[in-house]
Structure 1
């Protein structure tokens, strides 16, 4: 059975679907599955076109993404939950206190860095967010193979 990594951000239209797409590409054909959700999701919306454009520069896509609300059930199904910001971690721990031992900051290996929300920014902010997510995942990928 594939191990599931759940990415969490605010609206599930920028950062978490970007991370999901990058991880799916990185582990294509391997035993790791990726999913994403938002704390206050814009449920039913696709990935933001600017986030999709940042992925496209890397030859990736999240074109089939549909935003969804984070639920305790989604957290329970995940082997590991990676949040974009420290405030997301706090919300996750309140929503699913029993998952605290498998809930981490995506930027843990980048000095516990938050991945800033690019939503109100421009194309450069989305590019920077995508780059930070990719950098953070490079540190996580060796560790995810062992979950």
Structure 2
């Protein structure tokens, strides 16, 4: 049984916080017995969610306004039952931090041919919208496998 999911990207201000909010929604919101968290490999520690990421979430009826970026740690990875990453290189970094995570870490796009989600940081709103759409679709697929 999956009780704790950790979602990882680089800065923990765009993709992973959007994914955290979206997956929590797909799992039934705050009433879910699954804890969904996010962190970054090179986190902009203490920063809020990127304004464009929040704008896109809000346009879909969600919010990440309480998000605070944090650095991923070996302890976070170990505590998670499932670790989801945006890109293959993120999986490599996760495995370097916590080699024992190999059997429980996957790409968010696993169910779509191991698709990667490019970083929208510093790009335009349409790029953030595209990232949100991919995350929504891919995380819905994960929900069906949990």
Query: Is residue 2:30 matched to residue 1:22?
Result: no
Deviations 1:106-147 (A, max 9, x none): 011111111010002100000000110001101100222xxx
What secondary structure does 1:136 align onto? helix
Aligned to 1:4: 4
The answer for unaligned runs of 5 or more in structure 2 is none
Deviations 1:29-78 (A, max 9, x none): 12211000000000000000100111111100011000000000000111
| TM-score (normalizing by structure 2) | 0.95
CA RMSD of aligned residues (A): 1.2
Aligned to 2:67: 65
**Match 2:130 to one of 120, 128, 141:** 128
What secondary structure does 1:42 align onto? coil
| TM-score (normalizing by structure 1) | 0.95
Give the number of equivalent residue pairs.
Answer: 144
Counterpart contact for 2:8–2:41, Cα < 8 Å: yes
